[in-house]
Amino acid sequence: MSLSGGSPARGGGLYVHVPFCRTRCNYCGFFSQTDLRPADALMVHLQTEVRLRGSPGEPFDSLYIGGGTPTVLPGGMLEEMICRLLATVPLAAAAEITVEANPDDVTSGLLRGLRRAGVNRLSIGVQSFHDDELRFLGRRHTAHQARAAIGMARAAGFANLGIDLMFGFRGQRRDRWLRSLDEMWAWRPEHVSCYQLSIEADTPLGRRVACGSLARVPESKEHSFFLATSQLLRARGYQHYEVSNFALPGFRSRHNLRYWRRAPYLGLGPSAHSFDGTMRWWNVRSVTEYAAALGRGLLPVAESERLTDEQVYLEQLMLGFRTDAGVEIPLLSGHPLGAETLERLEAQGLLVRRDGRAVPTLCGLALGDRLPLEFVS
Ligand code: SF4
């Protein structure tokens, strides 16, 4: 492990990872710990990390507080943390400031505090409007708490609201999934993320699959849920702009678009990833090691990498083909396999040409990472 390396991203997006959750969900592979005692020190550590990183040169145009669960921070700590960050790092005047919230943490007081701190976008991890599905996923909240949280967010004045939902798990019925989408629609959120459950190895669901007590969902079922979701949400005015993400016009997540466009971002906090346009680096996945490195005056970087030209090419395809922006055709046709693969995928109805770009169709989007691999295998 190297605790040096990594230069500041120039402007771009700023991500802050809050590495705490009250309990761990059955599917989650993100880094967090359930011992909340070190939470009090997080704010000081983040400020030390900011100081060690140096000036970003240009103001950030988005701030995204994720995790983990930012809303588990006690009292007014989250509000204070955001205020202190905003006093320390330059942020553009019209920056998008997002906080991820868990429904069971949401109170009117918390939301008022976030609004006071300048948060203009709230992303609520609803996942399902059915209690049995929430229990299967290991979520702490109930459907009732999810409804209450959304109502409080609207009452607090959040006019850019995101709702996260999950589909594609064992036993989930299509009619109940569509009911969750209907219920979501009743709130008219500006942004909707519909994530297909992916089974990660080192999680309770992953262990159940490994020992045979839980079967994987057939790909045909995942595919049919994906298509039905897109059709329904597009019929309601949402733009399906990334595999899992839908937005009403004007409400795409500016911060997350940076990731898919390979634009620079700086990540603060344990396990946070950064990219400066050339180099990537990521912080240690340990609250203790993170604090210890900063205490010694070192950046808490675990590793860094510079991609080869071939890796950059594959990454441009992987990210571009996740979105409705697709990939520039000259980038494809300049590669040995590019032109003929593009023609073949076009003939198969997986890509279309639009404004000089190769853009995935809905069936192309459904293929996920297999589409870009066609260009390099
Ligand atoms: S899904 Fe969210 S709340 Fe659940 S363990 Fe992961 S980070 Fe925590």
Q: Give the Å distance between the CA of 173 and the centre of ligand 1.
A: 23
Q: Give the Å distance between the CA of 349 and the centre of ligand 1.
A: 37
CA distance 19 to 286: 9
- State if residue 205 touches ligand 1 by the CB under 6 angstroms criterion: no
- Quick one: pLDDT at residue 11? 60
Express each pLDDT in 55-71 by its tens digit: 777 899 999 999 999 99
Express each pLDDT in 171-201 by its tens digit: 899 999 999 999 999 999 999 999 999 999 9
Express each pLDDT in 314-325 by its tens digit: 999 999 999 999
- Give the number of the atom of ligand 1 that is nearest the alpha carbon of residue 24: 5
- Quick one: pLDDT at residue 10? 52
Express each pLDDT in 33-50 by its tens digit: 999 999 999 999 999 999
At the topology level of CATH, where does 309-373 sit?
Answer: Arc Repressor Mutant, subunit A (1.10.10)
- State if residue 68 touches ligand 1 by the CB under 6 angstroms criterion: yes
Express each pLDDT in 27-37 by its tens digit: 999 999 999 99
| Residue nearest (by alpha carbon) to ligand 1 atom 4 | 25
pTM for the structure as a whole: 0.94
Q: Give the Å distance between the CA of 313 and the centre of ligand 1.
A: 32
SS (H, E, C) the chain: CCCCCCCCCCCCEEEEEECECCCCCCCCCCCCECCCCCHHHHHHHHHHHHHHHCCCCCCEEEEEEEECCHHHCCCCHHHHHHHHHHHHCCEEEEEEEEEEECHHHCCHHHHHHHHHHCCCEEEEEEECCCHHHHHHHCCCCCHHHHHHHHHHHHHCCCCCEEEEEEECCCCCCHHHHHHHHHHHHHCCCCEEEEEECCCCCCCHHHHHHHHCCCCCCCHHHHHHHHHHHHHHHHHCCCEEEECCEEECCCCCCHHHHHHHCCCCEEEECCCCEEECCCEEEEECCCHHHHHHHHHCCCCCEEEEEECCHHHHHHHHHHHHCCECCCEEHHHHHCCCCHHHHHHHHHHCCCEEEECCEEEECHHHHHCCCHHHHCCCC
- State if residue 24 touches ligand 1 by the CB under 6 angstroms criterion: yes
- Quick one: pLDDT at residue 3? 36
CATH 1.10.10 in the chain, residue ranges: 309-373
CATH 3.20.20.70 in the chain, residue ranges: 13-260
- State if residue 25 touches ligand 1 by the CB under 6 angstroms criterion: yes
CATH class of the structural domain 13-260: alpha beta
Express each pLDDT in 200-231 by its tens digit: 999 999 999 999 999 989 989 999 999 999 99
Q: Give the Å distance between the CA of 30 and the centre of ligand 1.
A: 7
- State if residue 30 touches ligand 1 by the CB under 6 angstroms criterion: yes
